[in-house]
Each structure stands twice: as structure tokens, then as C-alpha cells.
Structure 1
Amino acid sequence: MSALILAAALLDASRPLSAGLWWAGSVAQLALTLHVLRTLIADPRFEPGHVHPAWCIPIVDNLVVPLAGTTHAPAEVPWYFFAVGLGYWLTLLPIILNRLLLHGPLPPQLTPTLAILIAPPAVAYLSWLHLGAAATDPAARILLHLATFQALLSTVQTGRLRKLPFTLSAWAYTFPLAALTAAFLAAAQSGLSGYRPAAALTLGMVSLLTAGLTARTLLAVRCGELSRPEPAATGIRGLDVRNSADLRP
């Protein structure tokens, strides 16, 4: 994902460097997607208690490919990655909601990953525009408003989220907000009213959040917090959610 994002960022500055990063990132993304889905399908140890929003990341990263892919590859290549990312996001979302709604809250160590649900519709909106759609296209508006709603849903949980102990998973708040900011900026540049101030607001939020998390992470490193064993958190059927990380594909 980092290579794909850098490829999009460097598109105007250095076309050859952007192309190299994009091709390397796209090939790696294809291999990662196949590996992750094969593992999820074949490994019998996975249970509902192991599910959390970060499961979206390896699959939804396919939606990042079209951001620079429309420049570096034939049209069918970015469309392929977009179809895979969108289709499997829509497949994973009900599974994640089932886990959240019917199997109890996430353990504190994983609760910040709820913010990740902002990213898929925001990135899908950006990719949809890069693939040639207009900002007023019905599908574009649906994706943008889904991202906005998910951000509002995260906002109303701020009071509870602020009480959580600090863990590295708190960094999960940053990249979804960055994706939402980019989506708002694209909407504003397309002439949709109201999105310029919204983009300024989310840009300020993600900038302050990144600075705060950087300082807090450095403090945690200095105090040795990151090397301490995490307390066990029990999910459904007595699962030790702390150790369930070993089951990640």
C-alpha cells in the first residue's frame, strides 16, 4: 500500500519513479490478496472472535491501485483491481458488522481499528473518479456519503475511545482520516459545495492526531511500554484475543 500511495503522490514529480513503485506495489498487492484470501478460506482455526476491521486492509488495498494505475497501465488493469477491492470490501463488511453487533465489543487493543471502516468508501470514491466517473455520478455520491457517515459514527464514539489505554493500534485513526480528507478535497475540486471546509477540518484533525500519536509513541518507547506483555482479552468461546493475532493470514 505504501508503494502504491507513493506512486500516486509522485505522479507529477517523477513519472519513472512513480511507475516503478506502482508496478512493484501492484504485483505485491495481487500476491498478497491471493495469499490472504486463500488463508482465510482454508484455515479452520478462524472464528468470529478473530474478526476485526483491520481484516479489510489487505483486500481493500486493491482500491488504491487505480489512483496511479490509470496512468501507468492499460485500462483493464486498474479496473480489475477496483473490482476486486470493491467486491470483497462489500463482502467483508457484513462479516465485520456481524462480529461487532452480535459477538460483543472488540478488546481495547483492537478497538481503534473501528476507524479503518472510514477508508474503504473514501478510497473507492477517489478511485472511481480516477477511472473516469464524475463527482455527481450516483455511485460516486453513495461512496462519498458512506465515508462521511462512517466518520460521523466514529466521531460520536470519541468519548469512549479517548478512555482506551494507548496501544500502537491507535495509529489506525490516521490513514482513514487522511483518505477522507483526500476524498473531500476531490469533491471540492469537482465543484460540490460544502466540501472545502470539511476537507480543511479533517486535514487539521489528522495533522494534530499524527503529531499527538508521534509524541505518545515516542514516550511509550522511552518508557518501555511497547515491550510489556499485553493482558489477555477474552473474546467469544473463551478465546484469548491477545493470542489470536497469531492467526492473522
Structure 2
Amino acid sequence: MPPAAPSGMPALSRFGVPLGLAGLGGGWSAARSTLGSPAWPEEILYGAAGSLWLIMTAVYVFRGLRRKGAFRADLRHELAGPFASFIPLVGILLSAHYSQYLPPWGAWLCMAFIAALALVAAQLLAHWVTGGVSMQSIHPGYLLPVVAGSFVASIGFSSIHAHDAAIAAFGIGAFFWLVVGTVVTVRLMTGGELPAAAKTGLSAYLAAPATANIAWMVSHPGPLGAVQLGLTGVLLIMVLLQVMLLPEYRKLPFTQMFWVFTFPVGATTNYAIRWLAATDLPGREIYAWTVLGLATAFTLAVAARTATTAIAGPK
């Protein structure tokens, strides 16, 4: 059997759909615990994310078994490789949510998916540091497996009450946020314009501080401390960066890669609701519902556009 050519961006980017749905589910989960919202929105979102993730994973694995070296080839894809982390990332989010219903099994599944993410991240790092990618091919999506991924792992550990492991995972994310974040930013500032297919990855600049804030907050419940306030400041400037990037995003033709935007939006919404609940800001509940409503509308709009595009077919 000949080695497989990488399936690349299309196959791996599809996992942005369940990732985005699970991210928004986390926002509704925060609303349930702080605003008293009903449980059904988050359960629908997590249920849809879980169903899609299972189907997509089965299809991806089945196709990979028929093509020798398929997953390794996808990992080495300069543009799409980092998106391989979406598969275990969704698994962590789902198992962390469902661990409340399946206490022993949910915790074990969460740990298994964290271990899978660690293996994927380690393989990617080994490929990167041995000259496997050119500086020109680097894009903000490289932050996802080792930065946002580590913070999501920290959230997963906190959900199963493994506090020490949560702090360790947070430390890993902080380290790579500094190291990989510096490399990515230098490339963007000096290496010319990103290809259109990679520009949605600029939302990773929002995913990193959003997941970092959630991870620190759930592992350090109580009054907001100096670290939390500092992380919140980073998130705010990254939100402003995304606003400034809107003209660039508007130029992009709609593709399934737009789902990459939905997870950072969901994670930011999740933290915004938690942060507002921890303050005495007047009208905080109105602000929280507004943010949640906008994030839900955005995700539904992407889903509707995806459906209409699929029905219309290629032009």
C-alpha cells in the first residue's frame, strides 16, 4: 500500500464544527451556573458536538486505515498540521462535560483524551523543531495544540478535581504561549501576508487568552486576583485586535474554515459570563445575556451559512 498523501486542511478543519459547538456549550454551561439559564441549550450543543465528533472521527480513522501513514502525513502538513489537535481537544471538552453524569468513566476518558492531546502536541513539536516547517508556513493556528490545548487540558483536569495536574498543564500552556507566540508574531510581522486559507487562524490570538482565563479561574475559585486581572487585560486587547481584523475577515470567501472562529468566540463568552458574575458591575446580568446571545447568533449564522453552501453545492 503506497504512503498516503495528506488530506490536509479540509479533513482536519471539519473538526472545527464540533469544537465550536462545544465551546458555545461551555458558554451556556457558565450561564446555567451563574444566570440560572435552562440546561437544554448546553445539552443540545454538547450532544450535537458529540454526535458530529464521533461520526467525523470514525470517518477520518476509517479512511486513514486504508491509507498507510495518513495521520502522520496530515501532522506534517505545514498549513493543516496543527488542526490535528482538534480531535482530542473536542474529546476533552465532551468528557469534561459528561463526567458529571458518568463520574468514574468521565474522569478516565478525560485523562485519556488529555494524554492523546499530549502525544499529538509532542509529535508536532518534534516535527517543528527538527526543521519540518519553514518560517513562511507558520501561522497563528500553531498556537492551538500547545497553548490553547494545554489550557483546555488544565480545564479538563479541574473538572475532574485534579488540581495539581491542572496547574501543571497551565504552566505548559503559559510556557508555549511565550515561546510559540513569539515565533508566530515575528513571522506575521516580518514574513508578509498570510495565505487566505490561514487567515481564520488569526482567531487563535483570542483562543489562547480566553482558555487561559477560564483555566485559571476554575482552578482558583474565589475573588479575582492579580493573575486573573492580568490575564483579563490580555484577553481584552486581543478582543480589540479581532475587531481591528474584521475588515480582513470580511474579504475572505465563506468556507468551512469559518468554524475556526466559533471556538474562540465561545470560549471568550464563557469567560465573560464567569467574570461578570464575579464582579459587582451594575447591569452585569444584562451584559452577560447580551454577550451570550451574540455568540449564539454568530454560531447559528455560521451553521446556517454552512448548510446553505452545502445545499447549493460547488459553483
Normalised-by-shorter TM-score class: 0.7 to 0.9
TM-score of the superposed pair, with normalisation by structure 1: 0.81
Aligned residue identity for 2:311: R
Aligned residues: 225
Q: 1:10-53 CA distances to partner (integer Å, 9 max, x unpaired)?
A: 343432343133122111122112111111111x2411211111
Residue 101 of structure 1 is matched in structure 2 by: 189
Please say if residues 11 and 68 of structure 1, whose CA atoms lie closer than 8 Å, have aligned partners that are also in contact. no
The CA distance in 2 between the partners of 1:192 and 1:178, in whole Å, is 23
More helix, by proportion = 2
Aligned residue identity for 1:216: R
Aligned residue identity for 1:215: A
What are the ranges of 5 or more consecutive residues in structure 2 without an aligned counterpart?
Answer: 1-88
Q: 2:310 aligns with which of 213, 221, 225?
A: 221
Q: 2:138 aligns with which of 36, 51, 55?
A: 51
Shift of residue 92 of structure 1?
A: 1.1
The CA distance in 1 between the partners of 2:106 and 2:98, in whole Å, is 5
The CA distance in 1 between the partners of 2:153 and 2:269, in whole Å, is 18
What are the ranges of 5 or more consecutive residues in structure 1 without an aligned counterpart?
Answer: 229-249
User: What is the SS of the residue equivalent to 1:191?
Assistant: coil
The CA distance in 2 between the partners of 1:153 and 1:56, in whole Å, is 16
| Structure 1 residues 106 and 190: CA distance shift in structure 2, 3 A | same
Q: 1:181-219 CA distances to partner (integer Å, 9 max, x unpaired)?
A: 111111122225276454433322321222222122223
Shift of residue 133 of structure 1?
A: 5.6
Q: 1:200 aligns with which of 281, 289, 292?
A: 289
Please say if residues 91 and 113 of structure 2, whose CA atoms lie closer than 8 Å, have aligned partners that are also in contact. yes
1:122 matches 2:237: no
Residue 3 of structure 2 is matched in structure 1 by: none
| CA RMSD, Structure 1 to Structure 2 (Å) | 2.2
Residue 155 of structure 2 is matched in structure 1 by: 67
Aligned residue identity for 2:143: C
The CA distance in 2 between the partners of 1:95 and 1:148, in whole Å, is 22
Residue 4 of structure 2 is matched in structure 1 by: none
Residue 241 of structure 1 is matched in structure 2 by: none
Structure possessing the higher relative contact order (Cα contacts under 8 Å, 6 or more residues apart): 2
Q: 2:256 aligns with which of 145, 168, 171?
A: 168
Q: Is the deviation greater in 125-134 or in 44-53?
A: 125-134
Residue 154 of structure 1 is matched in structure 2 by: 242
Shift of residue 152 of structure 1?
A: 1.5
The CA distance in 2 between the partners of 1:197 and 1:182, in whole Å, is 15
| Structure 1 residues 74 and 173: CA distance shift in structure 2, 3 A | closer
The CA distance in 2 between the partners of 1:160 and 1:34, in whole Å, is 32
Q: Is the deviation greater in 176-185 or in 17-26?
A: 17-26
